[in-house]
Amino acid sequence: MSDFLYSSQQQPPGQMAAIVRRIYPEQFRPVKEFHGRWGSLAVSQNHYNGFDAVETETYICAVAGGPLLTFCDNQFLAGLPSSVGTHKILSRWKTSKEIVWDEDLSGPFAIILIDKISGEIETVTDLMSFIPLFKTKDKDALYIGSHADIVAEISQRNQLTDVVSIADFVLNGFVTYPFTFYKDIEQMPPASVTRVSLANINELISAHYWIPNESYSFDNIEDASLYLRNGLTKYIEQVTASMSHIALFISGGEDSRAILAMTPERLKRDAYVFLDGFNAEAKVAKKIAAIYGAAFHYCERSPTHYLDNLAPCSRLTGSGAQFHHVHSYGFHKSCNLDTYQAVLGGFSSDALLKCSHQPRRFKSNKFPELVQIPAKGGFSIQVENNLFHDEILESVGNRRAAHMQFIRQFRGESAEEWFELWPASMNMNIPNLHGNRRLFRSYEPFMSTVSVKVSASVPQRWKTNRRLFHKTMQPLFKPSRGILHADGWLPYWPWWANVPLKLTNWLMRTTAIKLGIINRNQGPWWDWQTLWSSSVWKMRQKEMHLPAELLGTKEPPDPQSPQLSNMQKLNLLQVDQFFKH
């Protein structure tokens, strides 16, 4: 848990703290308020050790997230709750005013710095805005926060919903940057420092301290892979340097296998997987945990786990972010994840290092992707759906076009990929981090500075067909070189060697499912058929009531409409939850 909410107008004591607490399903930590001539600030106590808010005679500094500080040791991460890390950031910032945000901090963070004497406010977002900030202002006040819904509440804009953004979310799974579900509330720029003086709150000046320019920094893929492997290993070593016992997420895939292989063997490591049943995914995960010396923990979830947790997970992620990516909710307590000094994950490897957001030919949900072939012009700016009025769809398309134009300023060949990456709110999977970081001390090595910068500074073709990832991780995969990925191929070997294996195992598994030899759901996600036939879904469907004018639809939407994909039906359900609460 770590969020903050700022108002340039001083607020009544207790009001902002109450608003911030509404993010959380449970009151894990207290919320502290600060008040003065410069306004009011509410900050929830940061469960990342060392990053509590700091107030001096002159400054206030608050940090959302738990970044690694690369300019000093990070022993405090394993200590008791404190403000050591926040003090180090504040000291480095105020001493020189030349803190290098893209080098001195690594991983997700958002920071607010307040000069109580001059009335100057400064905010900082991380390289990708993994932790986004939102702002709005009127003629009298400026409001900034780390969660769009609390900014809407403090500014009394929570009734001013933006129908275009809501339609965008239902159709695409995210809201096009910089818009939100609320009129006049925008996401602040990624990798930026934004400054404003209370003498003139209408002049917010934002400047990027880093841009993912399409300029290449390595002579060959071997150099890039070595640099990446060393950087990821160093990040994990620095995070865990003063720790003795950590948790990790394990799966049948290769990302968690890589992270586990990079963790120091001196650590006691607990590896967790959450599944509907002990399927092929669980069997592979158990083997991998044993090979790399981690204690394996299989945790079974209800087939309706995600629907059961719609309300609390929607609050954690905020409006405009898909709730069902918070896989760990509930398990954060039953598995005591909130007691570990660090919980490592393998999130964002696909997005940053394997071109998962690159438009591709021959990609199908029915057949395995044997070869990743980029599709030129495969990206569609305009969206189509007969449920929505044409003018709403046109507005969504115009916003997408504007964002693509923004990305093309610095990404040429890979603009279509980075359209869904920068900022990270354009990646529909990012709510995984939004939820996890508010539940426990989540650390994602693939979100570290080295991973982000390598992703931006290598040719797209190096990342295609997991070439860069494979060269980076192959030495780490050697102990498990004979263990299949849960999808039926071998991560130790390059893509071309896996083509016949992928095809053979897919044919065998498909045949076994048709014959009823194995259960359909052998992967990490839920089974759609079970979900749609559940009493929970039928109840949610009956309770859903969304007037057409709230969505810009031609008629009240039907959650069973064939014009909606499975994912869009869940998005519609989440919008219904949004309007109810």
- Which pLDDT does position 1 carry in this prediction? 66
Task: Name the amino acid, one letter, at 483.
Answer: I
Which residues have C-beta within 8 Å of that of residue 358, sequence separation ≥ 6? 372, 374, 414, 416, 417, 460, 464
Q: Say if residue 410's pLDDT is above 70.
A: yes
Distance CA 310, CA 426 (A): 21
Question: pTM for the whole thing?
Answer: 0.96
Q: Say if residue 473's pLDDT is above 90.
A: yes
Domain boundaries 221-358+427-526, CATH class = alpha beta
Cβ atoms within 10 Å, residue 250: 29
According to DSSP, residue 388 is labeled B
DSSP string, 295-346: EEEEEE--TTHHHHTHHHHHHHH-TTB-GGG-TTTTHHHHT-GGGSS-EE--
Interval 27-56 mean pLDDT? 93
pLDDT tens per residue, range 212-225: 999 999 999 999 99
Q: Say if residue 524's pLDDT is above 90.
A: no
Position with higher pLDDT, 411 vs 81: 411
pLDDT tens per residue, range 129-168: 999 999 999 888 999 999 999 999 999 999 999 999 999 9
Which residues have C-beta within 8 Å of that of residue 453, sequence separation ≥ 6? 102, 127, 217
* Residue 340, token pair as written in the block: 């570990």
Q: Is 54 helix (H, G, I), strand (E, B) or coil?
A: strand
Q: Say if residue 207's pLDDT is above 70.
A: yes
Interval 416-426 mean pLDDT? 97
What percent of the chain is modeled with pLDDT above 90? 77
- Measured over the CA atoms of residue 168, residue 173, residue 176 and residue 178, the dihedral's sign is positive
Position with higher pLDDT, 232 vs 527: 232
Interval 88-98 mean pLDDT? 86
Distance CA 276, CA 303 (A): 6
Q: 2 pLDDT band (50/70/90 cuts)? A: confident
Sequence ranges of the domains in the chain: 4-161+181-208, 221-358+427-526, 530-580
- Starting from the edge strand earliest in sequence, which strands make up the sheet with 192-197, in order? 54-55, 59-64, 110-115, 120-125, 192-197, 200-208
CA count, 13 A, side-chain hemisphere, 196: 23
In this structure, of 149-153, 401-405, 548-552, the range with the lowest mean pLDDT score is 548-552
| SS3 of 132-193 | CCEEEECCCCEEEECCHHHHHHHCCCCCCECHHHHHHHHHHCECCCCCCCECCCEECCCCEE
Q: 378 pLDDT band (50/70/90 cuts)? A: low
Task: Name the amino acid, one letter, at 355.
Answer: C
- Which pLDDT does position 107 carry in this prediction? 98
Interval 461-486 mean pLDDT? 97
* Residue 191, token pair as written in the block: 């990798």
Based on the number of CB atoms within 10 Å of its own CB, is 355 exposed (0-12), middle (13-18) or buried (19 or more)? buried
- Which pLDDT does position 518 carry in this prediction? 75
Interval 230-258 mean pLDDT? 97
Q: 384 pLDDT band (50/70/90 cuts)? A: confident
Longest dimension (CA), the chain: 74
- Which pLDDT does position 80 carry in this prediction? 84
Interval 437-446 mean pLDDT? 97
Interval 86-114 mean pLDDT? 93
What is each CA distance from 224 to 228, 417, 451, 456, 476, in whole angstroms? 6, 20, 11, 12, 16
Say how many residues make up the chain.
581
Q: What are phi and psi of 505, to 5 degrees?
A: -70, -35
- Which pLDDT does position 28 carry in this prediction? 63
Tell me the β-bridge partners of 115: 59, 120
Interval 533-539 mean pLDDT? 89
> CATH for 4-161+181-208?
3.60.20.10
Q: Say if residue 344's pLDDT is above 90.
A: yes
Q: Which residue has the tokens 């263990």?
A: 483
